[in-house]
Structures are given as structure tokens and as C-alpha cells.
Amino acid sequence: MPVFGRVVTAMATPFSADGALDPDGAARLATHLVAHGTDTVLINGTTGESPTLEDAEVWDLLAAVKDAVGDRAQVMVGTGSNSTAKTVKATERATADGADAVLVVTPYYNKPDAVGLQHHFTTAAGATSLPVLLYDIPARTSREIPLDTLVELSEVDNIVGVKDATGDLAKAGQLLARTEGAPGGFEVYSGADEVNLPLLSLGAAGFVSVSSHLIGDALAEMARLFATDPAKAREIHLRSLPVWRWLFAAPSPAPLKGALDRIGLPGGPVRPPLAPASDDIVDALLAALEPFGGAEGVR
């Protein structure tokens, strides 16, 4: 079994109507996710609106989610930033507070070169004994982790893989080929739902998903069947395309939170500067769930 299982859900952070953190809602949402196919719950990631969370809120969120599902799922915390010192501090706190793993994103805005990236990630990994998952998402950071740098980082014992949100299947294939036999093992997780199945077919371990909030059981089935029943896995992938289209038709996680609220699961508003998704987008997203049993299938 891959180190984080097949399905990692990048969990939305529930807020109350006034925008305050809702720890009870977070516990309920995490419980729902684990009951519907999630192996690892990721908090304080992109979908969790990490740029708007205060440090204290992250640790309250970790405590709530860990208490709710820690006996049957792993809890990963996003600790990366564009400051190496802040990343180390957050990684140390996540370790002390009982996280099972950390996600470290590529530094954004300051755009370090390969030498800077190497130092940043190895320094973060050196601050913890936990497994570290790198996060390569150049559309948001303006800096892609070079292939050679990823291969070098795979030699660090507790850097166990990368969440690949580049959409570059050729690069992912080369990375998988070049990191076979890495000392601590090195796994690639899809970081973009629309390439989940293509990356699985190349040898990816699984995926870090947003849509698993809504179609988690189906995605878990796809991950389970892709090697033995590729036709069924393909059918699930193609059936999911409209869900993915509408889930990202407005800045994420606004459409997801709109759908969660309609369905009756904890979501709440997005925090500014994000704006709520339009009713038309949420309506279309809910309609895309009909082949999966609609709102009742999510519940």
C-alpha cells in the first residue's frame, strides 16, 4: 500500500457564517471523508484556504481532525511557505502536535532557483522525522521543481514523494522511472483530478483530490480497479469529467463549498479575497453529481 494510501483528500476548511473557524464542522467533514474512501486527510492546503488561516487556526484544525479520524486515517498538514524559516517552524509545530505527515509547497513569489529549492526542501525535511510530501504546482507558485532537483530530493530519506500538479505527464513518467529504488521510497501523487487515471497508469501511487469530497467512493473504486479492470476505471474517470469541470469553474474552493452547503455538509463561506461561486456554477456542479447518485450519493 502506498505510504498515504490511494486517496488523499485536500480538505476544505469549514467556517461559520461570520467566517470564523468551525472546528466541529472540520471534525464532521473529516469523518465523512474517511467514511467515503479517503485514506489521508490533508489540512491547510490550497483547498483549505491556507493563505487566509492564522497559525493558531491551523493547530486548532489539526487537533479537531486528528481527534476525529486519527485512529483510522492519516492527517497531513500543509506547512510550506515562501520563507524557509517559517516552513521549518510550522513543520516543527506540526510534528509536535501529532501530524502524521507534512506537505511542503514550492516557495511562491520569490521564485528561488534550483539551488534555493534544494536547500529549502532539505532544510524543511531536516526539521522533522515525519514523511514529507513535496508539492509542485507552478500555476500557483510560478516556479516548477526541475526534474533533476526532484530526483536529488528523492535521495532524502523522509522526502517520500511529490504531489504533482504540473499536468506534465511526460515529466511524471521520467520522474517515476528515475526514482525507482530511492532509499526511502519515492511516490508520485496526482495533484490535479483530471489526470488521476493517466498518472495511475504511469505508476503513480494515488492522488490528492478535491472532488473526493463529493465522489470519494467512486474515486477510491477507480484507484482500486485501474490495474485489474481498466475499462471500469476509464468509465469512472470519464463520468467524473463534468464534476471536475464545474468544481474549478470559479476559484477553488468556492464551488466545492457552495455544493457542500447545499448538500448539508460543513463548508461555510470562503474567506476574502475569494468570492462565493455563482448559483449557476453550484447548480451545474450538483447536476454533474447525478450519475453518482446526486446529493444523496454524497451523503
Distance CA 63, CA 265 (A): 20
The reply to whether 102 falls in a domain is yes
- H-helix segments, 193-265: 196-202, 212-225, 230-247, 254-263
Q: Look over the chain and give the mean of its residue pLDDT values, rounded to a whole number.
A: 97
Domain housing 206: 7-230
Residue 1 pLDDT level (bands cut at 50, 70, 90): confident
Stretch 245-268: mean pLDDT, rounded? 98
Segment 138-146 shows an average pLDDT of 94
Do the domain assignments include residue 269? no
Residue 184, pLDDT score? 72
What is the average pLDDT across 229-239?
98
> pLDDT tens digit string along 67-113?
999 999 999 999 999 999 999 999 999 999 999 999 999 999 999 99
Element (H, E) at 31: helix 23-35
Taking alpha carbons only, the member of 243, 191, 144 closest to residue 10 is 191
**C-alpha distance from residue 135 to each of 25, 203, 205, 260 (Å):** 26, 18, 15, 26
Task: Return all residues near 193 (Cβ < 8 A) that are at least 6 apart.
Answer: 207, 209, 210, 211, 240, 244, 247
Residue 52 falls inside a structural domain: yes
In a domain, 91, yes or no: yes
Q: Is the dihedral of CA 165, 169, 174, 180 positive or negative?
A: positive
pLDDT for 188-228, tens place per residue? Answer: 999 999 999 999 999 999 999 999 999 999 999 999 999 89
Q: How far apart are CA 227 and CA 229, in angstroms?
A: 6
* 40 in a structural domain: yes
Q: Is residue 93 part of a domain?
A: yes
Burial of 299 (0-12, 13-18, 19+ CB in 10 A): exposed
Banded model confidence at residue 176, pLDDT cuts 50, 70, 90: very high
Cα 109 to Cα 177: distance, rounded to the nearest angstrom: 31
Number of domains in the chain: 1
Q: For residue 180, what pLDDT band results from cuts at 50, 70 and 90?
A: confident
Q: Write down the pLDDT at residue 125.
A: 98
Q: Is 163 a catalytic residue?
A: yes
Residue 295 lies in a domain: no
Strands (E), 67-192: 74-78, 101-105, 132-136, 159-164, 187-190
Q: What is the pLDDT of residues 36-62, one digit of tens each?
A: 999 999 999 999 999 999 999 999 999
Q: Which of 108, 109, 111, 135 is catalytic?
A: 135
Q: How far apart are CA 192 and CA 20, in angstroms?
A: 28
Residue 108 is a catalytic residue? no
Q: What is the pTM of this model?
A: 0.97
Minimum mean pLDDT among 126-140, 171-185, 202-216: which range? 171-185
The owner of cell 455544493 is 259
Supply 40's cell numbers. Answer: 489521508
In a domain, 283, yes or no: no
CATH number, domain of 151, equals 3.20.20.70
Q: CA 58 to CA 182: how far, in whole Å?
A: 32
Q: Among the options 66, 163, 171, 257, which is catalytic? A: 163
